[in-house]
Amino acid sequence: MSSAQDLNASDVEKLITKSKAAPPEVRHARAAVSADSLNHRDLRDGEWWRRLYPDVGEDEFLSHVWQMRNSAYGEDKLVELMQSVSAPADFIEDVKKGFHMVPMAVRVTPYLLALIDWDNPWEDPIRRQFIPLASQLLPDHPMLSLDSLHEQQDAPVEGLTHRYQDKALFLVMDTCPVYCRFCTRSYAIGVDTDTVEKVNLRVDPKRWEKAFEYIESRPELEDIVISGGDTYNLPAKHVRAIGERLLNMKNIRRIRFATKGLAVMPMKILSDETWLEAITDVLNLGRKLHKEVCIHTHFNTPNEITAISKRAMNVLFERGMTVRNQCVLQNGVNDSAETMTLLTKRLSEINVQPYYVYQHDMVQGVEDLRTTVQANIDIEKQVRGVTAGFNTAIHVCDAPGGGGKRDVHSFDYYNRQTGVSVYTAPSVKPGAFFLYFDPLRALSEDIQQAWLDPKKQTEMCEQAIAETMRLRQQR
C-alpha cells in the first residue's frame, strides 16, 4: 500500500482494533520484556567519585558541608579539576572562553562533577547543563527577553509573583547549590556576570514580611511555591519560620518547597539533620492542620540518579514527604524518548513523582539547549503509557509573557516553518496571545535570515496571531 488513498475496505478492517473481546482461546499476553527495559533499577553505586577525588572516602563525600566547600565556583577551580582528570586541552580552552559569554555564573557540586563522563565531556548531558562551551553556544533568538516569563511584571510586591488565581510564587533568596546554565531566573540568580547585572532577591525577612502581608490580604490565594534561588540554601530556622507562617494563614491550603538540591546534592538529606528536621516539622504541622506540604525537585537526566539519591529519597519517603519532579526538555541532554522513558521509570524507582516536563524557556545564552515544540510533542506521545499515568509527567510550555503553563500540544496555532506557536490562557490572562519560538537552528536558512529582519519578525508574529483568530472563528 503506497498511500492512505490505496486502502480498500478489507485493508481498513484489518487496521481497526476490534472492540469486542477476543475469545479465551486466542487471548495474548504481552511479550516478555528485555533486560534493558529494567535498567531503571540499576543505580550507580560504589565509590565512583574516586576518579575525580581519589583521596575522598564515603563519609567525607556524603557530607553536605564538604560538598559545599568543594563546589567548583569560578574558572580557576574548575580548570584545576578538569586538568586533574586529564580532560582534553582543547576542551578546557573551550570552557575558559564559554565562562565569559553566558548570563549565569558557574557553580557545580563535586557530586555532579564526578558524574560527568570526562572521557567525552563534549557530549555529556550533565556537563551540558552546567558548564558552557564557547564552541557550542549559538546566537539568541531575536524575540528572547531576559525575564521571558514576566515574573517581575506579575509581582505585586518584590519577590512574589501572583499570576494564577489561587497560587503565588514566593522567591525567598537568590542563591543555589548549583547554577544551571538554563535558569529561567538568570535575571536574578547568582552573582553578576559579564552579560547580566542581577536583580536583588537576597535573604531579607523584612522583604518577606511584605510578601506575607500580601498573601494574607488575598483570600483567593491557597497555594504557595517557596522558591528562589533554592530553598536547599535556606538556613533551617528560615525553613521552619516561613513554613509555619504560611501554614498558619487561614487561606493557605498547600505549600511547596522548590529545590534542585535533591538532584545535585542528595547527601544533604543524609547529613544535615538540622535542615531535615526543620522541613519535617513543617510537614508535620501541615498534617496537623490538614494542609499539604511537599517538595518539588529537578532531575533532568537518569544519569543524575544514583544509589545516593535513593538513600536520600528513602529518608524523605519514610517521613511521609511527597516529592515531585519538574524537568526541562533539552537538546543533547534528554531529548529522546529513550532517555525520557528511563528518567520517568528511574524517578518512580526512587519514589519521586514525575510532574512536569517543560518546553525550554527562552533564556539568554542557551539557544543550543532549546528544542522545538514538535520534538516535545513527539517525545510525550512515545513516553505516555510506559508506566502508570500518575507517574507520567505532563509536558508543558510555560508561555512567554506570563501566560503560565499550558499543555505543550494545546497551542491554538503552530507554524512549523517559521517556528511560531501561539498559546492562549483564558483562566490566567483572558484575551491575550502568548508566542513561543522554536530555535533558529531548526528552521530553514531563509527563515533564519528573516528572523534577523525586524520588519519580517513583526510580519511573522502578526501572521501567526491572524491565523489563530481565523481558526478560532471557524470553530
pLDDT tens string for the chain (475 positions)? 445 566 666 666 666 665 555 666 667 777 777 777 788 889 999 999 999 999 999 999 999 999 999 999 888 889 999 999 989 999 999 999 998 888 778 899 999 999 999 999 999 999 999 999 999 999 999 998 767 777 778 889 999 999 999 999 999 988 889 989 888 876 656 555 555 564 667 888 999 999 999 999 999 999 999 998 899 999 999 999 999 999 999 999 999 999 999 999 999 999 999 999 999 999 999 999 999 999 999 999 999 999 999 999 999 999 999 999 999 999 999 999 999 999 999 999 999 999 999 999 998 889 999 999 999 999 999 999 999 999 999 999 999 989 999 999 999 999 999 999 999 999 999 999 999 999 999 999 999 999 999 999 999 999 999 999 999 998 7
Q: Please give the sequence-ordered ranges of beta strands (E in DSSP) within 207-363, or none if there are none.
A: 223-227, 254-258, 292-297, 322-328, 353-358
Domains belonging to the chain, first-starting first, are 48-136 (no CATH), 160-409 (3.20.20.70), 411-475 (no CATH)
Q: What is the pLDDT of residue 408?
A: 98
Q: At what angle do helices 75-84 and 89-99 cross, to 10 degrees?
A: 170
Question: What is the C-alpha separation between 109 and 339, in angstroms, rounded?
Answer: 23
Closest C-alpha among 429, 407, 431, 430 to residue 421: 407
Contacts of 195 (CB under 8 A, 6+ apart): 101, 102, 103, 364, 365
Contact 422, 411 (CB under 8 A): yes
List, in sequence order, every residue forming a beta bridge with 226; answer none if it has no partner. 170, 257
Q: What is the pLDDT of residue 296?
A: 98
Q: What is the pLDDT of residue 191?
A: 56
Question: What is the C-alpha separation between 179 and 182, in angstroms, rounded?
Answer: 9
pTM: 0.91
> How many Å from the N-terminal Cα to the C-terminal Cα in the chain?
34
In this structure, what C-alpha cell is assigned to residue 35?
533486560
In this structure, what C-alpha cell is assigned to residue 135?
564552541
Half-sphere exposure of 193 (CA within 13 A, CB side): 24
Contacts of 258 (CB under 8 A, 6+ apart): 225, 226, 227, 228, 230, 231, 295, 296, 297
In this structure, what C-alpha cell is assigned to residue 139?
546566537
Question: What is the C-alpha separation between 158 and 206, in angstroms, rounded?
Answer: 11
Number of residues that this document lists for the chain: 475
Q: What is the pLDDT of residue 109?
A: 96
Contact 461, 420 (CB under 8 A): yes
Question: What is the C-alpha separation between 108 and 125, in angstroms, rounded?
Answer: 14
Query: For residue 145, what are the CA distances in angstroms to 169, 315, 364, 385, 412?
Result: 20, 40, 7, 36, 22
